[in-house]
Amino acid sequence: MMNRLPLWPETVVRVQHLSDSGICVIPERYVKKPSERPSISESIDKEINIPVIDLQNLCSADESLRRKTADLVSTACREWGFFQVVNHGVSHQLMAETREAWRQFFQLPLELKQQYANSPATYEGYGSRLGIGKDISLDWGDYFFLHYLPMSLRDQNKWPTLPDSCRELVAKYSEEVVKLGGKLMKIFSVTLGLSENHLEQAFGGEIGACLRANYYPKCPQPDLTLGISPHSDPGGMTLLLPDENVLGLQVRHDNNWITVKPVPNAFIINIGDQIQVLTNATYKSVEHRVMVNSVKERLSLAFFYNPRSDILIKPVEELVTEEKPALYSPMTFDEYRVYIRTRGPCGKSQVESLNSQK
């Protein structure tokens, strides 16, 4: 097959290599404009956190508790675009083991990881940049990206073999997380007043799923850069397993950056652009970013739960009314994804460019 984008436009620098080299000053390419730098004052929001929701309460015998919990989900999706879930059904041990396997992978010598070096054609493998454009601003992080679904894209030969357990753990973990994603799709459908399978059907019946293990090395000048620049996730929803020890994720809320305080063994769930489009902006895909620090590296596993990539995604009829006409023109996820891959993380400009009212 001919790849349209066989190579990166310039030599890829591993952020881990920069970090290990002992530099005290980070290269210009990683320095953000003053207005985009993480400001310390903003991160002192000790009291505020994204909502934490106990999913077990949705099956409670107590009907008022069920209703209250469904309302929490609905409010979180409308007002935050983000929440944490506990009692989500995924084995805590499996979560910890999978995270540990990825930690070990990123601790391997660079030469070994280079064997998995990715290219912009598919992004699968070991990578250090998200945008393809030459001279774009770079973020302080490396990652490993892989496809889990559809089956036609799953290629376990591209997944790490070190540590030994990695492939097996990733397969088990993904299977469990997909199940949780399916449950959440039903919950979202019902809380939107739709039938239980509505969103899953609007996703095309079969889903896409990929995993990105993010690794943010220590940074000598964390005030000047970001681990990931502000962006909204382009897909359906993201199920994130954050680092259990190191804070970093910030969510935009009422024009402030709120630092997420992870609850032990929880997943952080966020709405992506495709659910924002399908729900005609009832549920919001919210901007977020990642801060780095000079003391400790940080690892997170972002699992992206996406619609089938070749069907048109547009607001569902039930959520289009005279007062709220369709906000977005139809587009496939394949078409949509090209944009973010060209420019790298760029706030919410992508989903807003679809807005047919502007």
**Would you tell me which residues interact with Ni ion (CB under 5 A)?**
233
Pair of tokens at residue 102: 């990825």
| Per CB under 6 A, 249 contacts ligand OGA | yes
Contact 269/207 with Cβ under 8 angstroms? no
Q: Is the peptide bond before 150 cis (omega within 30 degrees of 0)?
A: yes
For residues 160 and 345, which CB has a smaller minimum distance to ligand OGA in the complex?
345
Give yes or no for residue 228 binding ligand OGA (CB under 6 A): yes
Query: Of Ni ion, ligand OGA, none, which one does residue 214 interact with (CB within 5 to 8 Å by kind)?
Result: ligand OGA
290 binds, among Ni ion, ligand OGA, none (CB under 5 to 8 A by kind): ligand OGA
The nearer residue to ligand OGA, 302 or 354, going by C-beta atoms, is 302
Distance from C-alpha of 303 to C-alpha of 320, rounded to nearest angstrom: 29
Cα distance between residue 170 and residue 53, in whole Å: 25
Among 69-77, 163-171, 181-189, 242-250, which window interacts with ligand OGA (CB under 6 A)?
242-250
Q: Does 16 help bind ligand OGA (rule: CB under 6 A)?
A: no
DSSP 215-247: EE---S-TTT--SEEEE--SSSEEEEE--SS--
- The amino acid sitting at 293 is N
DSSP character at residue 123: -
Which residue in 16, 19, 74, 214 binds ligand OGA (CB under 6 A)? Answer: 214
Binder of ligand OGA out of 234, 242, 262, 315 (CB under 6 A):
242
Count the Cβ atoms, other than its own, within 10 Å of residue 337. 18
- Judged by CB under 6 A, does residue 278 bind ligand OGA? no
Q: Does 248 bind ligand OGA (CB under 6 A)?
A: yes
CB 116 within 8 A of CB 124: no
Residue numbers of the site for ligand OGA (CB under 6 A)?
212, 214, 228, 233, 240, 242, 248-249, 288, 290, 300, 302
